[in-house]
């Protein structure tokens, strides 16, 4: 099959008014990735290298977004929304380049299983001209029904054009179709618009192909392949299904999720075996975790690279550019941004480390802040191997703490500290014997005088 050339035509010209959004519907994300990009991924996973994206509403924004998630895709504008067959024909120039297989998908149907596409392509390779990916549902209302005669698919009837008898059919069109490249244009051009909606239905090519004696096949896949997103409730439903699949995959890959339904992954999360994730953890985009990490409850992690056996949280925030080497620890109420925490270093409590390096085995005391920003520019803090930073210290960048440097608690460090030096950056303590008692008495008598 891999030798067969394949073009995927993804329809995304719809307005999506029910999203009530300034952003085109298909750009709304699932797991942090625009829903249409999930469709692109499925097409690519099924070996379809070439993509044609049919856009209409919000064309400029769509083109800009597509340049990121599908840089090789050709975009075609469907000026008037005259139906799904008309939309596919907007990509005529791509189709006429000549492909063995043409796949048609909807940009608002993001949970497509690449296997369903591969099965459809296989049917084309076996000689079918049109393959419809169907699904069964007890509640078929709104979907096109697959009309079979003698076990053969002869037509797809849209709900509005169905007879009462046909409405009872529970085998539905999921919206995925595969068409033999050599037949596609001829079939699409034969589609008319004499139906209840006055639209050019892609689904009509089934009947047209049958009448021409071409082979038409229906396959069956799960309902999720057909789950179209029209509003934000359906967006959340798709997100839920996506997350459920991803959690299951993570667990099968050797990750412990103690309460799986409270852990949220991104489309690109990489997480290694023997990682334990406690409840209520969020992974934003760009997270890579090696093996054996412990992610404690309520941690928020994005754009971070985490080496093996790290310990994170509870209530840790790792932001983009956080790079934790083996056995590093980032504990409760700590934030790390654009910083390397070297092997075995500990940042355990109430700390902000930004634009910095914390050397191997260093210990950062509670309440340490790297003062990395002066309101205009960012500056770097370099903390050497084995350094000790006492609690409640401010490290005013740019500044370097040498290897084995020792910072007294409560210091404001503005000058670099050499290797193995001890630095105090605070006023010296003065202790006045008996003065506490004297002060208390003075305050008490002043208060009593006021009351009189
Ligand atoms: C379509 C199918 C129906 C199937 C259902 C599955 C047709 C005629 N019907 O119905 O059999 O059961 O999907 O969800 O194909 N689009 C354009 N330009 C157009 C028209 C549509 O780009 O002119 C895009 C839409 O943005 C959408 C997709 O095509 O992403 C499907 O169109 P929609 O109007 O939602 O079709 P359905 O009525 O849901
Ligand atoms: Ca639809």
Q: Encode pLDDT of 31-53 as tens digits.
A: 999 999 999 999 999 999 899 99
pLDDT in the model for residue 452: 84
Supply the mean pLDDT for the chain: 97
Q: Ligand 1, from 107, 116, 175, 188: best to mutate by most atoms within 8 Å of Cβ?
A: 175
Judged by its nearest atom, the ligand closest to the C-alpha of residue 158 is 1
For 345-390, the pLDDT digits (tens) are 999 999 999 999 999 999 999 999 999 999 999 999 999 999 999 9
Taking the centre of ligand 1 as the mean of its atom positions, its distance from the CA of residue 176, in whole angstroms, is: 10
Taking the centre of ligand 2 as the mean of its atom positions, its distance from the CA of residue 80, in whole angstroms, is: 17
Strands 130-136 and 171-180, by their bridges, are antiparallel
pLDDT in the model for residue 2: 61
Taking the centre of ligand 1 as the mean of its atom positions, its distance from the CA of residue 228, in whole angstroms, is: 9
- Nearest atom in ligand 1 to the alpha carbon of residue 13 is 22
Judged by its nearest atom, the ligand closest to the C-alpha of residue 52 is 1
Question: From atom 22 of ligand 1, which residue's Cα is the shortest distance away?
Answer: 13
226 lines ligand 1 (CB under 6 A): yes
Confidence of residue 210 (pLDDT cuts 50, 70, 90): very high
Taking the centre of ligand 1 as the mean of its atom positions, its distance from the CA of residue 33, in whole angstroms, is: 22
Extract the tokens encoding 416: 């670099």
156 lines ligand 1 (CB under 6 A): yes
pTM score of the predicted model = 0.94
- Nearest atom in ligand 1 to the alpha carbon of residue 107 is 30
Region 192-210: what's the mean pLDDT? Answer: 97
57 is catalytic: no
For 72-130, the pLDDT digits (tens) are 999 999 999 999 999 999 999 999 999 999 999 999 999 999 999 999 999 999 999 99
For 2-17, the pLDDT digits (tens) are 689 999 999 999 889 9
275 lines ligand 1 (CB under 6 A): no
């Amino acid at each position: 099959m891999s030798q067969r050339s394949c073009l995927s035509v993804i329809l995304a010209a719809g307005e999506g008014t029910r999203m009530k959004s300034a952003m085109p519907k298909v750009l709304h994300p699932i797991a942090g990735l625009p829903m249409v990009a999930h469709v692109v991924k499925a097409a690519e996973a099924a070996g379809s290298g070439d993509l044609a994206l049919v856009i209409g509403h919000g064309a400029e924004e769509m083109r800009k977004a597509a340049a990121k998630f599908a840089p090789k895709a050709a975009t075609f504008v469907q000026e008037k929304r005259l139906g799904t067959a008309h939309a596919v024909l907007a990509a005529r120039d791509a189709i006429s380049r000549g492909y063995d297989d043409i796949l048609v998908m909807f940009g608002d149907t993001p949970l497509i299983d690449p296997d369903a596409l591969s099965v459809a392509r296989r049917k084309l390779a076996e000689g079918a001209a049109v393959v419809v990916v169907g699904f069964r549902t007890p509640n078929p209302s709104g979907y096109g029904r697959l009309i079979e005669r003698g076990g053969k698919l002869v037509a797809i009837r849209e709900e509005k054009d169905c007879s009462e008898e046909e409405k009872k059919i529970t085998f539905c069109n999921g919206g995925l179709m595969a068409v033999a490249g050599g037949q596609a244009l001829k079939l699409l051009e034969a589609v008319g618009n004499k139906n209840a909606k006055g639209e050019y239905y892609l689904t009509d090519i089934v009947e047209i192909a049958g009448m021409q004696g071409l082979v038409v096949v229906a396959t069956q896949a799960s309902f999720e392949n057909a789950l179209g997103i029209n509003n934000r409730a359906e967006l959340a439903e798709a997100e839920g299904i996506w997350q459920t699949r991803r959690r299951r995959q993570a667990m099968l890959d050797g990750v412990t999720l103690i309460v799986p339904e409270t852990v949220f992954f991104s489309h690109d999360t990489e997480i290694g075996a023997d990682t334990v994730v406690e409840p209520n953890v969020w992974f934003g985009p760009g997270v890579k975790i090696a093996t054996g990490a412990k992610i404690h409850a309520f941690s928020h992690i994005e754009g971070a690279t985490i080496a093996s056996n790290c310990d994170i949280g509870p209530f840790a925030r790792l932001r983009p550019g956080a790079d934790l080497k083996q056995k590093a620890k980032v504990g409760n109420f700590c934030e790390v941004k654009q910083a390397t925490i070297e092997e075995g270093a500990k940042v355990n409590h109430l700390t902000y480390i930004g634009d910095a390096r914390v050397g191997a085995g260093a210990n950062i005391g509670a309440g340490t802040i790297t003062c990395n920003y002066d309101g205009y520019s960012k500056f770097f803090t370099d903390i050497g191997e084995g350094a000790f930073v006492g609690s409640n210290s401010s490290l005013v960048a740019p500044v370097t703490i040498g290897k084995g440097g020792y910072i007294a608690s409560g210091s404001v460090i503005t000058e670099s500290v050499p290797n193995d030096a001890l630095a105090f950056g605070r006023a010296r303590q003065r202790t006045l014997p008996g003065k506490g008692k004297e002060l208390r008495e003075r305050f008490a008598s002043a208060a009593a005088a006021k009351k009189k």
